[in-house]
Structure 1
Amino acid sequence: MRASWLACGMLVAAGASAETLEWDTSTYSQEVTPCDIEASHGDDPYSVAPGVSQQDMDFAGAMAACEAAVEDDPGNPRLRYQLARVYGYSGQGEKAYPHREAAIAADYPQALFVNGYLHFLGINKARKDVCRAGSLFRRSAQYGRLAGQVGFTRYALDGAFAGCDVTIDPEELMVFLEAAEESNSGFYESMLIAMLKKEVAALEGEKK
């Protein structure tokens, strides 16, 4: 077990890297735009309108709305993420790329997780890059994104980031899981979090 754990990534001393970050919405407009109405994601904790699923999205309408919104407010990471989402869903991953990167550069939590997932699988014109995915997953977890907290921990325990310059700290993983536990009330999610906590606790014990 210990050997496989050490191969997971850049292991650090417990507690050396545990950090939580607060996302500041005051740095960009919170005004609801047509882009928000057409292209918000239901799991985005910083969306300002009800989520629209891929199946329910009017791609042409959402694209026009989000292109106009980004033209008016190019520094808004929520809008850049949403325009990238529309392009990605409509099969235009190449056009999504600069907007994905802009949202990542702004540290937008939802974009960090989603783009981590795209790079992890190498889908929708995102190059497969597991190491970058690990860094993005971890960053989203530090910002409190539930999927990042659970996903980063699961992939780290599976050894997905072996050989990557991705910090893996058992204490930080436990911080992520405890925060996820507090913010989640779903039965299946709670069961998964409890299982992951047991695995991480066992690894913490090995390091003592």
Structure 2
Amino acid sequence: MMTIDLKQAALALVAIAGLSAPLAAHETVTVGPYEITTFDPANHSQEPTECDKLASHPEDPFSVWEGKSSSRDIDLPAAIEACRKAVEADPANPRLNYQLGRVYGYSQRGDEAMPYRNAAIEGGYPQSLFVIGYIYIEGMNIEQDVCLGAELMRLSAFAGRFAGQVGFPHYVLSGRFDDCPVTKDTDEMLGMLAAAKPQGFYQNLLVASLKERVASAE
């Protein structure tokens, strides 16, 4: 369905384990229907908005607020309204688009979420690459497309998202991507894991376990 050259992907997002260097911010990589640019937070406002306060995720590495991890903790109608206003005021900001897509998705309004999810992906937003990749894989209020999800999750790993760095090798080892043309290179996955920055005992164990499993799967 789609192919991504390893060097192009590495260049387009972030250097990982010495594989490559980033492309200039104006350059893009094509992934399925998406034209994904390099994300640079310096190109977007970092001033917290009401949208950030209501809809950010605590594990988002580029969040500007502490965030809420569960839909149960979010006032969804208020968050949708706040994020709609924030995106209207700053439509090119991938973080705000991701957050509006997030609260629409939590509200089971997947169709309304898609334009904002797409904008966040095309802006190269690392959290969006992982999250939307995951929901494509699982078909969560979106038309399931495992192979597109695989490509996005792989790019989230290049973009430095810990969940992608461990999630992509996990799915490969589980056979979930066996029918997909996504690159499943052992050295690349070991590079993802080498670049991962676990925080805490269990995350360290997970990375160590995945390294052993990837290396032994050759």
Please give the range of the TM-score, normalised by the shorter of the 2 chains: 0.7 to 0.9
1:81 is aligned to 2:72: no
Question: Aligned runs of 1:11-26 on 2, under 5 Å?
Answer: 19=10, 21=14, 23-26=39-42
Mapped partners of 1:51, 1:134: distance in 2 = 26
Distance 1:168 1:52, change over 3 A: same
- In the comparison of the two structures, how many residue pairs are matched? 189
TM-score by structure 1 length? 0.85
Mapped partners of 2:48, 2:8: distance in 1 = 36
Select which of 170, 189, 195 maps to 2:209: 195
Code of the residue aligned with 1:79 in structure 2: it is: L
Question: Aligned runs of 1:111-126 on 2, under 5 Å?
Answer: 111-124=128-141, 126=142
* RCO higher in structure (CA 8 A, sep ≥6): 1
CA shift, 1:56, in A, is 1.3
Q: Secondary structure at the match of 2:108?
A: coil
Mapped partners of 1:97, 1:199: distance in 2 = 35
1:146 is aligned to 2:162: yes
Identical columns (%): 50
What's 1:41 paired with? Answer: 57
Structure 2: where are the runs of 5+ without partners? 15-21, 23-38
Select which of 152, 157, 161 maps to 2:173: 157
Mapped partners of 2:8, 2:120: distance in 1 = 24
| 4+ residue runs over 6 A deviation | 15-18
Structure 1: where are the runs of 5+ without partners? 1-9
Distance 1:18 1:119, change over 3 A: closer
CA shift, 1:185, in A, is 2.8
What's 2:198 paired with? Answer: 184
CA RMSD of aligned residues (A): 2.0
Moved more, 22-31 or 161-170: 22-31
What's 2:25 paired with? Answer: none
Moved more, 51-60 or 73-82: 51-60
